Structure formats: structure tokens, C-alpha cells
Amino acid sequence: MAGYRAEIAGIAGTTEAATFTNTILALEDAGRGFGRAGALFGVFTSTMNDRAMQQIEEELAPVLSAFGDEITQNAALFQRVKAVYDARATAGLDPDQRRLVDVVYTGFARRGAALGVAAKARMTEINARLATLYTRFSQNVLADEESQALIYERADDLAGLPDSVRDAAKADAEAKGYAYAWRFGNTRSSMEPLLTYATRRDVREAAWRMFTTRGEHPGACDNAPVITEILALRGERATLLGYASHAHWILDDNMARTPEAAMALMMKVWPAAVARAREEVADMQLLAGDVAIAPWDYRFYAEQVRKARYDLDQNAVKPYLQLDQMREAMFWVAGELYGLQFARVTDVPVIHPDVTVYEVTRGGALVGLWYFDPYARDGKLSGAWMSEYRTQERWKDPNAPVAPIVSNNSNFLPGRPGEPVLISWDDAVTLFHEFGHALHGLDSNVRYGSLAGTNVKRDFVEFPSQLNERWLPTKEILSRFARHHQTGEPIPDALVAKIDEAKHAGEGFRTVEYLAAAIYDMRAHTALTDAPIDPGELEASTLREIGCPPEIVMRHRPTHFSHIFSGDGYSAGYYSYLWADTLTADAAEAFVEAGSFYDRATADRLHAVITSVGNSVPPEEAFRAFRGRDVDTNALMRDRGFPVG
């Protein structure tokens, strides 16, 4: 921090007239040591967050927030940035240089650089308090995930569960010191198999209640009051910045531009999703008989309907989906589309023995490094995500570009030593999704790191990752890499056909549980009230007013909705998955029109105008360059099997 502060003082204090080089490029070059330390700190807090690290995180969160505000609110520095911004049209800058000026100036202005002294001081207080609250929210969720588990000592309790799920639970119990038991931790990768396959209804209900109430229990780890304070502070900050609400502030710098535009897209899809969900419930009710379908029954009976209607048993698919083979499948696709090769290296430091590292090359030239951290452990955030340890850039020395370093992180349960880890189809989709983010970082080829890789608009960043999911079900992948873990036989064509036939099965559920959460997010962040917001009451009123089927709850209920309450990243932005999926559905049709998802010309165009350009080109222009026109929103409805019109 001291070194970064000195660099900022030098930029702000120079008597030379402000130029792109001595101001914008100087800022681009400043704080490199601070950035490296921050990246490593982020690795620890997301993957090795033991109690000692949590204490450090609690201490540093407000300090780091205040330091960021110190830079943003430096009046002399902002005046120099503004001077370059005001002269950008006549300064002879290249398009990517003008784009960098726009991004830097907008970043300062949106964070209050032009506010008065008193407002800046209050902004610093708000941001510091929010940083503390975000840390507390995350740690409360982590505490519930680590301290809560379902432990069974009778095999009868596991009725219906596949052997692979039982084996993973057995290994987890043994690792935790249980001699003869099965342990299911409070994470999605453990809970969803119980909810899908357990024939014991009481087991399903126990799993559902434990998983959906993370962060909701009165006491030290209760996130309800944390959310109330977060929402109040975000509202106050938006007012200081001149916006009607936090959502208006967030969306003003995204593709959607306004909360109304985001809500319009969501509400276009919502009625069709609800109608499909009700059809799904009706089909399930026929199998359930007198048992009224409850939220903990949905996945179980949906799987029964899938078996009956499509003759597709997910347990019949799982033996063909080995984690190691799916990783190799992702590598193969990256080679086919972008010419990338991946080779394991062992001379690179890792944070945990589970982590493996791969050198990424193209035509023999170094592209970057890819870290893979696949397994669950204490101190690691749940879910799956991509991180960037170092960002691509090439402006300082075009002959020696800085190679990106990215990671993918998951929470699979390791099997017994020597046994393959088998994953579900949904888990395989998630792997390809997160690897799409990694490819976005690795494929980047721009001059300036601030515009590189995934440093794009929030509602555009999910586009390359969601598009990358589309290669998993292709015959080229399944025939090569979906092989039975015991026999080595490729997945039968008949089974692949069933997977394709059933691709819209459960679409109502998936869309409703996602949209319910996204609509809640937007409602929470457009609430124009000074009264404290009770997150539970807002959840109930939102679901009631939009007519959410009672058999479905939000994919992320408020007290563990880390996307929107553990930081600003996806706040008022959870809609972005749907926004990006609109782009994805349309882009996927480009490959269909070309006759293959491996069409060389289409893949080259995707690389040239989407995955390699980062934020050096406005996202609307990038998409038009790929598709030749603006996005067709009806592509989303077609893709999900919903009526168009």
C-alpha cells in the first residue's frame, strides 16, 4: 500500500500537463506489488479461509476499502484523469486507448471522485462498513456450511442413493473421524444428490431445510440483520452518487442500462417458465399420488418423471462422466476452437496438494497457466468459480507480453484412493461453464490489463462461459471422453439421444428458481424506502406478488445469496445470467447455421471478436461483429423450449 500510495502521489503531483501517457498509462502501471499481494490474499480467503485467515480478512476489509477510496477521491488525480478524458477526441488516441480512458474516467466518476468533501467522507465510511459486512456475510455462510452436516449410520437411511454418492459420503465421514457412517456436508454438491435420489422423504426434507437455511439461524451467524444494513447503506450510497437506487447505479454501467430493461427481459420469460413449472408439478403429482409435492420433493419426482417419460436415468449417465476425462474434454475443445494445448507442470507452487497446474500454449508459444482446484475442504467457499491471479497485457513490451494466470475452483467430493470421481451431467455443465471464464482470460489479447479478459460488463461476462457449455453435449466430445469408468466403452448413442431428447426436462424448475432469485435481487435494490428492509419479508412478498409456484424456492435464498451480499459484484446484477444467456442462445444458433459447433470460420470469428478482445471493444459492438446484427431475444425462448411471441 505504501508503494502504491507513493506512485499515486507522483502521478497526481506532477506539474506536467495531463496526457494519456503520464496519467492513464501511469495509473495502469501503478500498484503492481499491491495487486500481486491482493491476488494472493484473494486465493487464501476463497480457498484456505481458516480462522486465522478469517481474522486477517476481518481486519483488512475496511482498511482495503478505505485505501481504494483514498485513490478514487484524490482530487488532483481525478482532475488529471478528467483532463485526459475531456481531450480524448482530439488527442490522436487509438480506439483501445480511447476505450481505456473512458473506462478509467467512468470508474473514478462512478465511485464519487467528483463529490464534495463531506460526501466523500461519508462515502468512505459507507464503503468501509460495507466491506466489513460483506466479509461477515461470507464468513457466516461458511460457518454454517462447515458446522452443519447430515450423518447417517444405517444403510437404510441411504435408500435410493447411487453407489458413487454413498462412497463419497463414506470417504467424507472417514476423513472427519467417523468409523462407520456416511456424511453429507452442507454444500450443493452433497445436498443435490440427496434431494434427487433419496427415497426417504424425511431425508430429503432434512437436506433441503439444512441447505436452504444457511445463514438464517438466530445468533452470531445470522445474516438477516447483515442484509438489512447492507441494503440501507447501498441505498444511501446511491443517493450520494445521484442515482435513484443501488440498481440504477449498477445498471447504468452495464449493457441493460436500466433496472426497467433488465426486469422487462425477466418478465418476458417468467410467465412461460411458471407455466412450464406447473406442467412439471402436474406430471410429478401423478407419480406422488396423495403426497403433495413440497420443495424437497421437486428434484426427486422430476427425476422419476425423466425416467418414465424419456427412459433416462441420470445414474445411467454418471458412470460415463469421470472428472479427469471431463477435464481432458475441456482441453480438447479449447484446442479445437482456439488452438490451445495444456500440459501438466509440477514445478509451480500451489496452495494445497489438491491443486494441479497446467502450462497453456498455442503453436508452441506460452499463453498462460491454468490452475485446477476441484475438491471441497474446510475453509473453501462452496460452489464453483474462476479466479484470475494475473491478467494478460502487452503494452509495456509487445515482444514480451504478460501471460495470464487463471484458476477454476470446484467442490467435488474426492472418492477413495485410486477410484475415479464420477460427476453428474449438471456438474459437467458447470465445469464447462467455469472453464469458459478461464478461456476468456487465457484467450485475451489486448494491450491493457484493465481491458483484458473478464474485465468486461457484468451482464456480458457470463456470455463466453455460458456459450462454452454448448460444446459438452456435442457428439465429438461425448464419443471421445464420455467413457464408462469400468469398461472404457464410449457412452452409447442411444443414451446420448435420450439426453438430447430430455434437454428441456426440468426447464420450468431451473428457470423459475433462477428468475425468482434474480427478481428478488432487483426488487431489493430498487426499493425506494428509508424503512429497514427485512430480507425474509421481502422474499415472501416478492414470491407472492410474482406468483412463484409454492413447490419452488429461490435458487439462493437471501441469507446465503453470496452473489449479491458478499460484495458488489453481482448485486442488482444476478439478472445478468439471463441477459448473457440471450446472447448465448443467439450465438449458438450461429454455429447451428454453420452446420457444426466446430465450424472453423465461426470459431475463428468468435475468438477474433469476442474471447480475445476483452473490454477493448464495447460489448454491443463485439456481439454485432460476431453475429452481424443486434441480439435476437427470441433465441432465448427458442433455446428453452418456451413459446415465442
* Domain segments of the chain as ranges: 2-114, 148-212, 322-456
Catalytic residue among 388, 434, 513, 539: 434
d(CA 99, CA 456): 12
d(CA 411, CA 297): 24
Task: Strands of 378-494 (E only): list them.
Answer: 385-390, 405-412
* pLDDT attached to residue 189: 86
305 Cβ contact partners less than 8 Å away, ≥ 6 residues apart: 280, 283, 284, 287, 505
* pLDDT attached to residue 418: 86
Look up the CATH number of domain 2-114: 1.20.1050.40
d(CA 311, CA 499): 10
Q: Taking the chain (645 residues) in consecutive chunks of 10 residues, what is each chunk's mean pLDDT?
A: 98 97 98 96 95 96 96 97 98 98 97 96 97 97 95 95 91 91 92 95 98 95 98 97 97 96 96 96 95 96 93 89 98 98 97 97 97 95 94 94 97 87 93 98 98 96 97 95 96 92 93 98 93 96 97 97 95 96 97 98 98 97 97 94 86
* pLDDT attached to residue 530: 85
Q: Which residues pair with 360 in a beta bridge?
A: 342, 368
Terminal CA-CA length for the chain: 55
- Supply the Cα-derived Rg of the chain in whole angstroms: 25
As a residue count, the chain comes to 645
> In terms of C-beta distances under 8 Å and separation of at least 24 residues, what long-range contacts does 32-38 make, across chains too?
33/3, 33/4, 34/1, 34/3, 34/4, 36/390, 38/64
Record: fold of 322-456: Collagenase (Catalytic Domain) (3.40.390)
Which residue, 85, 164, 76, 138, is CA-closest to 113?
76
d(CA 569, CA 563): 7
- Indicate the SS3 state at residue 116: coil
* pLDDT attached to residue 375: 95
d(CA 63, CA 57): 10
Do residues 334 and 439 touch, judged by C-beta distance below 8 A?
A: yes
434 catalytic per annotation:
yes
d(CA 374, CA 384): 9
Residue type at 284 in one-letter notation: M
d(CA 403, CA 615): 17
Grid cell listed for 36: 500481486
